[in-house]
Chain A
Amino acid sequence: MTVLATPLRWLRAGWTTFKRPSAHLGIGFLTLGGFLAGVIWWGGFNTALEATNREAFCIGCHEMRENVYAELQSTIHFTNRSGVRATCPDCHVPHNWTDKIARKMQASKEVWGKIFGTIDTPEKFAAHRLTLASNEWARMKANNSLECRNCHSVESMDITKQGARAAAAHQTFLFTGQNTCIDCHKGIAHRLPDMKDVPAWNKPPQSAARPDGAGAAAPH
């Protein structure tokens, strides 16, 4: 009996503390409850993040559905002989956890745009398109086209199986690190905005029209 007395006293003391009301709630309830809430919150947060990751969420907005999504459907990243698809989040939300959070915070800005109507018509979308595309190019340039490389690895690229133009370009500029995917593959998933100010994309066609208007009359 004496052997057990001390641990029993400890237990009882512990139990008293556990159920003793703090100010309003038992401290034990607070600790345990807090822990459980933490588990639920974390899980729920994760699930919510997964849900926003799904393509269905992205194309819930008409700007996304009627422009970029409609265009994606005819490209190789939507249908191809292998049946492997790239969805919006594959190219637009980095898989890395911290980057993911950062992108979500930025995404709130888009929700803002939706509510306050910055880009609520196809015309406004077209007008903003170069800005939006440039943001994406800058992001992909900065992360060395991370999203592309999540699926296409340079190590697994067999250039003997590629077309001559692809093999030459990849060997000369990609493998040497001079260029990254997005430098050469702009417009891989959507229609491009007006490219006349983007380097390597050519100037628009010229007509013989001179500043004084002479020569502009006849269509060429």
Chain B
Amino acid sequence: MRRILLLALAAALPCLAMAADRPAYTGAPVPEVQPAAPIAKETTDDKRRSRNYPDQPPVIPHAIRDYQLDLNANKCLTCHGRENTEASQAPMISITHFQDREGQTLGAVSPRRYFCTQCHVPQSDARPRIDNLFQDVDRTIRNAQPTEQRK
């Protein structure tokens, strides 16, 4: 009986080790083929999101499927460019987008800000794999204060 138990334990050990090696994201055993998770929906509700810090490139709240963004054409600027915001009612690219890295303000969008999706990205309703513990500056200051002062 003892021998059988020991054998069973020995047999189970590699399995335990494998469990520890499971990928943190899915928690699924490595050799098993998992069904693909459903593709997350794009967030295209046209509601501007608040930024986590003033320098954050705001996320894109609308669809950008098939928007051409290359040397030939920049679809984003047909709405966000300075001359086009009256018709499109889109927020204009801010002054930083006209500045080169010496801080010189140019007449049109600066080359380093031409490829918008380098910094601005659309969002989806996908659940984060790992919870985000980021706190913005106001929360951080509030949490640093003695408890009786917090409101």
Interface string of A166-202 (1 = CB under 8 A from B): 0011000100000000000001100111110000111
CB-based contact A207/B100 at 8 Å: yes
CB-based contact B106/A206 at 8 Å: yes
A75-B66, A163-B63 given; A202·B72 CB < 8 A:
no
Report the nearest B residue to A189, measured CB to CB.
Answer: B66
Choose among B74, B102, B108 the residue that contacts A206 (Cβ–Cβ < 8 A): B108
Interface size class on chain B is 35 or more
CB-based contact B109/A165 at 8 Å: no
Q: Does B87 contact A (CB under 8 A)?
A: yes
Q: Does A214 contact B (CB under 8 A)?
A: no
Assuming A195-B72, A202-B81, what are 7 further A-B pairs, CB within 8 angstroms?
Answer: A164-B62, A187-B66, A191-B68, A191-B70, A202-B74, A205-B109, A208-B104
Report the nearest B residue to A172, measured CB to CB.
Answer: B87
Cα separation A205 to B46 with both chains bound (whole Å): 27
Distance (Å) between the CB of B45 and the closest chain A CB?
A: 8
- Name A residues whose Cβ lies closer than 8 Å to a Cβ of B: 74-76, 163-165, 168-169, 173, 187-188, 191-195, 200-208, 218, 220
Chain A residues contacting B72 (CB-CB under 8 Å) are: 191-195
Cα separation A192 to B114 with both chains bound (whole Å): 17
Chain A residues contacting B26 (CB-CB under 8 Å) are: none
Report the nearest A residue to B80, measured CB to CB.
Answer: A202
Cα separation A196 to B24 with both chains bound (whole Å): 49
Report the nearest A residue to B114, measured CB to CB.
Answer: A205
B window 1-36: CB within 8 A of A: none
Cα separation A192 to B69 with both chains bound (whole Å): 10
Top 6 A-B residue pairs of the complex, sorted by shortest distance between their CB atoms: A164-B46, A202-B77, A220-B100, A205-B111, A192-B73, A205-B114
A163-B44, A193-B72, A207-B111 given; A202·B84 CB < 8 A:
yes
Cα separation A169 to B101 with both chains bound (whole Å): 36
Report the nearest A residue to B90, measured CB to CB.
Answer: A165
Report the nearest B residue to A169, measured CB to CB.
Answer: B88
CB-based contact B107/A200 at 8 Å: no
Choose among B75, B79, B89 the residue that contacts A187 (Cβ–Cβ < 8 A): B75
CB-based contact A165/B78 at 8 Å: no
Cα separation A102 to B57 with both chains bound (whole Å): 51
CB-based contact B62/A163 at 8 Å: yes
B window 98-136: CB within 8 A of A: 100-102, 104, 106-114
CB-based contact A203/B108 at 8 Å: yes
Q: Does B65 contact A (CB under 8 A)?
A: yes
